[in-house]
Amino acid sequence: MSQTQYQVRGLNNILEDLYRTKTSGSLHLESQIILRQKTRSRVLIWQDGKIIYGGSNIPNREEFLKQLFQSFKSGWNDTAIKFAKEKAKNPKSIRELLEIIVKIRVLNWGQIETFFRNQAILTLEQVLPHAGQFQLDRTVKIDLCYSEDYHGLDLTLLTQGVTLRQQEWAKLAPIISSMDAVPYLPESGSQIITEPAVRQHLQQWVDGKRSLVDIAEELNKDPLQLARSYLNWAQAGWVIFTQHTTDRAASTNKNIPTILSVDDSPVVQKTIERALGDRYNVLLASNAVDALNLLNQKQISLLLLDVTMPDIDGLEMCRTVRSIPKFRNLPIIMLTARDGLFDKVKGQIAGTNRYLTKPFDAEKLLEIVSEFVGAGNTSNGNN
């Protein structure tokens, strides 16, 4: 089977097509994490257009149960798994094992569905913001389902769950801008940490190489919950965050202002780069997560922001940026295909300085940017 490339935001269309055509099989994904220059492998298993499992790989029958029971602290876990395996007649059926677990009242269908739904949301959260490649294997058949009516997990509800989590991630900015943020110990080391358990954790896991999602995966924890703990530790001065940048971001000229353009269209980004590149450093981000990373680590003089973002809505991102004290005076120009008066008013309420409708003239864009940022002026709203 060959692999097919997809661009940022393209994965949404692939998932919707699998949902609409009621596809069954396994969808293997290789996401390109640009800011960290690495790939992330994930798999989504489909049954009749519904997702029934999401994770880093396809576990066997016993591994399915172990994943499930790890989230429920019970002394009956090993006993229940052994009992279910002894009673099951089909050595390949996951459904049969779950029916036995429910019958003996160790877990109920609601608990089982909640666990696997959360797993699927975590998987989607880790791949949707990025470009990558996919491979669909229609031969994979797994009888995992939830409740007596054999239903799977609805894609619309899962993506809504992802959106809610992305909004929670945005609340952690600017200290933690995404799950790919990399923590490291301050120069003073761990001597200043007053809580022994926290000191032990940070000494074991924080090496300046692992991101939050890397640490969470090894600990079998939710990255967002882990990030909330790390936020408290960062505010206490026990840990510091940095983010990996692209080669282009690292090589920008510090003597001229830097413009950050956030748009998932390569064509639009190329137009912006050509229009502004001779007078400004131009950094490009295709989604809100990468944009928040760059805002947090670079001295940005002006933000060009597309309204229709692949993850967080552009207006929501504008409000988030404006809620951070050091960005309250940062010039923000909203780029959009919408030209209605109501949309412009919403942009102004969110905190944008100007509203430019696509398609736009390169000279007009340069003229508007120059109103806020002179080519030799390095002062900006980050200070």
Q: pLDDT digit string (tens) for 122-163?
A: 999 999 888 889 999 999 888 888 887 888 999 999 999 998
Q: How confident is the model at residue 46 (pLDDT cuts 50, 70, 90)?
A: very high
Identity of residue 326 = K
Q: Which residue has the tokens 């959009």?
A: 336
Task: Based on the fold, state whether residues 256 and 217 are members of the same structural domain.
Answer: no
Which ranges constitute the DSSP H helices of the chain?
A: 10-20, 61-70, 77-87, 94-103, 109-127, 155-170, 196-205, 212-219, 223-235, 247-250, 266-276, 288-297, 314-322, 341-350, 362-372
Q: Do 159 and 200 lie in a common domain?
A: no
Among candidates 286, 311, 333, which has minimal Cα distance to 161? Answer: 311
Can you tell me whether residue 21 is helix, strand or coil? coil
Least confident of 50-64, 182-196, 245-259, 277-291: 245-259
pLDDT at 218: 92
Q: Residue 321 CA to chain centroid, in angstroms?
A: 17
53: containing domain: 4-170
This prediction's pTM: 0.66
DSSP summary character for residue 325: G
pLDDT at 367 over 90: no
Domain annotation covers residue 303 = yes
Q: Is residue 177 part of a domain?
A: no
134, 11 Cβ separation under 8 angstroms: yes
Q: Work out the percent of the chain whose per-residue pLDDT is above 90.
A: 31
Alpha carbon distance, N-terminus to C-terminus of the chain:
52
pLDDT band at residue 334 using 50, 70 and 90 as cut-offs: confident
Q: Please check whether residue 310 lies inside any domain of the structure.
A: yes
- Residue 339: CATH number of its domain: 3.40.50.2300
Q: Does any domain span residue 382?
A: no
Residue 187 dihedral angles phi and psi, to the nearest 5°: -60, -30
Tell me the DSSP string of 332-374. Answer: EEEEES---HHHHHHHHHHT-SEEEESS--HHHHHHHHHHH--
CA angle 126/233/171 to nearest 5° reads: 50
- Asked if residues 67 and 59 have their Cβ atoms less than 8 Å apart, the reply is yes
Quick one: average pLDDT of 291-312? 82
Dihedral of CA 54/56/62/66: which sign? negative
> Has residue 73 got a pLDDT over 90?
no
Same domain, 229 and 358: no
Is there a single domain that holds both residue 285 and residue 344? yes
Q: Looking at the structure, do residues 21 and 131 belong to the same domain, yes or no?
A: yes
Tokens of 329: 């005076």
Nearest to 11 by CA among 53, 42, 48, 57: 42
Q: Do 150 and 223 reside in the same domain of the chain?
A: no
How many structural domains comprise the chain?
A: 3
Other beta carbons within 10 angstroms of residue 248's beta carbon come to 11
Last residue of a domain, one of 170, 191, 211: 170
**Residues 41 and 153 reside in one and the same domain:** yes
Identify whether 216 is part of a domain.
Answer: yes
Q: Are 235 and 280 in contact (CB under 8 A)?
A: no
22 and 42 fall within a common domain? yes
Is residue 48 domain-resident?
Answer: yes
Residues 359 and 309 in one domain: yes
Query: Alpha-carbon torsion 219, 221, 223, 227, what sign?
Result: negative
Question: Of 170, 199, 228, which residue sits at a domain end?
Answer: 170
Does residue 198 sit in the same domain as residue 337? no
Quick one: which of 224, 94, 83, 99 has its CA closest to 162?
A: 224
Check pLDDT > 70 for residue 375: no
The answer to whether residue 380 sits within a structural domain is no
Structure tokens at 17: 């097509």
Number of helices (H) and strands (E) in the chain: give both, helices first.
15, 12
215 and 307 assigned to the same domain: no
Asked if 17 and 133 sit in the same domain, the reply is: yes
Residue matched to tokens 């504008």: 318
* Angle at CA of residue 2, ends 23 and 10, nearest 5°: 60
**Among candidate residues 225, 242, 259, the one where a domain is terminated:** 242
Measured between alpha carbons, how far is 209 from 156 in angstroms, rounded to an integer? Answer: 35
